[in-house]
Structure 1
């Protein structure tokens, strides 16, 4: 059994601890709502299967029982077992086999069920390893320091968010940001691509780089940031444009007095509100700062070209001018004589 347990894992101490460890997984918390419900129902069904050995934390779930009692299709059972193995909460000790593949020397004529061992993380999961510090140190006021003040402990910072999904999102984002060695996406480049897959990947990398440059956005998932910023990415906005839109009001030089680092409970709604100010009433978007600068450069270049063309025409006309051969006094005299009769 120990030969199949991966590093950093150990057999779960209790079946309940195993179920709780699944809930604390970032992959489980960030999964789709329907997949999350099906995986949780499947894990509870596996925990109720016979053949459980609490000493070794091994279990022999029978597929026929899972199909008849809990209604799981065979293909779904295979997919759920594979997903639990990939998440590191389950390991295969012995694979199952049908009776036709059982050696005759064993004398067995029945199907053999697979044996799995239930796993949990070996290190302590009580402290979240994240680049987003959440201090929880308490400060005791000295007695009689100030009259009328309570000497009860007071927290010098907000307590961690109780939501397992939010904690999983923060761990997942910071795990990717801590491994960042260079810019995930050019902050001055757009996310244009030829195929849908390439465009989605470009939007994901741009959103992750946006989270690296904006600390409050690290509280939500990268997919959430990409979903909010997707209309702006497809309108030709860059990362720097979105960062400008988060801190500045549109068409003015007024900066917001409050940022999202403190006092914001729903970061996604805060980001959507800030970016929503840059949307017109007809559903379109205002031009981004980079687009405005590009339009101004194009206008200045067009004006410079027009002025150069005017100068060239004036020089050409001046060079093609031929002075008259008749003196001006004689020309004036001829004009007057023609007017007099």
Structure 2
């Protein structure tokens, strides 16, 4: 690998790496966010950066283990070179004298932004046995813990990225897998709920998803009340919310009835309104067909559409059992229209005369 010419070149190389393009959407986002944070702290001349892993985790609202994993990913593929390992001073019990104190105190690790060299493109750096890079606290051996009890076996590493909202087939509605997929969508869409895990979001929204709510319905309920008015915000940043689960429970409690059952969500209300409109249209169509059938003695086809001029020139239809002359209601309506027309004409003439 070689030193990156600029922060933009470093980020572009990370985003275009084949292994990065094969990641899931949320994993790719976390990787690029960590890389951008490292590039933002880099020196423009030497391309060295030294933000602590805890600082990156706090700024991005990520777990410390997640930041360690993506920094190790960058190191294994030649995007980070170790300039100085981080140091931690250990003190002897009861004294202020450090066991391994070198006079420098606690120091953050220093990395240099780099890109894989041209001759190393396509070469798997993870299998290269000739590298002399010293181990650091971000290696896998540093974060694994040994068994604490006798005859206890080391627990297997949990499979990563087991939530998929794009590649896997949608789960059956009402199942735990379906609720987890909905929680993952909420986690990806809401910047406030990204501080919670998808499993915790599924726990908070389980009764609403079981009632037929979608992820969009939950997000709409967090911003709007059941009567359609928007919630008012007393904070200027999402970082001011100290108890995110309590905030979610309070907002969603407004969408529960007196028995604790969820109300209809936004999509369910729209679907019910559309079904009611279709039913009214079907009922009106049946009444129109019945009216025509009573007039002529049988079902007939609906009359063709006429233009305005043809409709005015067409003679009025006689009432059943009556004469062919217009009825009283027709003559009254026609007289009212003529009177309004004469009034508008008189007003126009007065306006022209003035």
* TM-score (structure 1 length as normaliser): 0.42
What TM-score comes out, normalization by structure 2 length?
A: 0.40
The structure, 1 or 2, with the larger RCO (C-alpha pairs under 8 Å, 6+ apart) is 1
